[in-house]
Amino acid sequence: MRLVFHLGAHGTDDGLIAGWIASNRSAFEQQDMIAPPPRLFLNRLSQVLDAERDTDPLQREEALLRGLGASGRCRWLAVSAPGLIGASSDVITEQGFYVKDVARRLYALRSFFPRSQITVLLAVRRASGFLSAILPDDPEAAPALMPMLDGETLPWAQLVVAIRRHMPQARLVVWRHEDLGAVWPDVLAQLTRPNSALPPTGLLDFANLTLSQEARLRLRRYLAVNTPTTAGQLRKLAAVFAERYGPAPRPHQRDDLPGWTAHEFERLDRGYGTEWDDIVGTQGVEVLLPHP
């Protein structure tokens, strides 16, 4: 059995990848793939952990996979669920950044599927965008949580090392959230069988990531009479329309956060490039980079 787990992270693609999987579930089934809803998948893991903790690992794996729809014909499962490594409220705690309960969850994923071939997908993101996305609306959240980030940057490389340590046999594929508009065909290809066409529903949402409002409108009109044959062609078309009619605007910063957080975001952002270099240099990590 081949399993692909998109772990997120929280606050990266706003559920776009999970939405694409959900929209194409029937197409995946036609390709002999299973794409269980994230909540169902997480619930099944919890049930097995509670009720079948002492069951033989191989029998437990077989029962879990069959409960999710695996069969002799369907031997590929893909799921996008940041909850696999914890709740968003556990991302920043007194223990650190992506530390609370992460090791236990990663080990559980490994022990649940001892015979399966696992691929783990992970996006990392610049601190200013990531923290703006995950900090709760509660006005007391930033003063409570930001002091827990006392390093020079968000330690994404630490999370990557934890995944390698606790799931040493798994493939680990990482990309920068900021590059998603350029690498999305490669990201989605990781979720499907090799050499299979990407189901088309929802691909335009990814192409639109790099486009201004006018560019989106013009691309939609163009596609109404000109259908690209591959996701790569759609990505290239989007790049042309972004250059001609304008790229997507810069994300708006939240205005409900204390003024001092902007300084903290800048401080943490400065180390992002070095952090990415550390990830690229980590043994056993595959990275997805924008095409020239």
Could you read off the pLDDT of 205-226 as tens digits, one per residue?
999 999 999 999 999 999 999 9
Computed over every residue of the chain, the mean pLDDT equals 92
Q: Judge whether residue 165 has pLDDT over 90.
A: yes
Return the pLDDT at 46: 82
pLDDT for 53: 64
Instruction: Provide the token pair at 159.
Output: 């999370």
* Average pLDDT, integer, range 130-142: 91
Residue 242's CB is within 10 A of a number of other CB atoms, namely 21
Whether the model clears a pTM of 0.75, i.e. scores above it, the answer is: yes
pLDDT at residue 6, as a whole number: 97
Tens of pLDDT, residue by residue over 63-107, are 888 888 887 778 899 999 998 999 999 999 999 999 999 999 998
Q: Which domains does the chain have, with CATH numbers?
A: 2-197+270-287 (3.40.50)
- What is the crossing angle of helices 102-112 and 57-67, to 10°? 90
Please report, rounded to a whole number, the percentage of residues in the chain having pLDDT higher than 70.
98
Specify the pLDDT at position 52. Answer: 59
Looking at residue 108, what is its pLDDT? Answer: 87
Q: Which residues contact 197 (CB under 8 A, 6 or more apart)?
A: 230
**Which pLDDT tens digit goes with each residue over 23-59?**
999 999 998 999 999 999 998 888 877 665 667 888 8
Please say if the pLDDT value at position 184 is more than 70.
Answer: yes
Convert the pLDDT of each residue in 222-275 to its tens digit.
Answer: 999 998 989 999 999 999 999 999 999 988 778 788 889 989 999 999 999 999
Give the pLDDT score at 54: 67
Cα three-residue angle 218-219-225, rounded to 5 degrees: 100
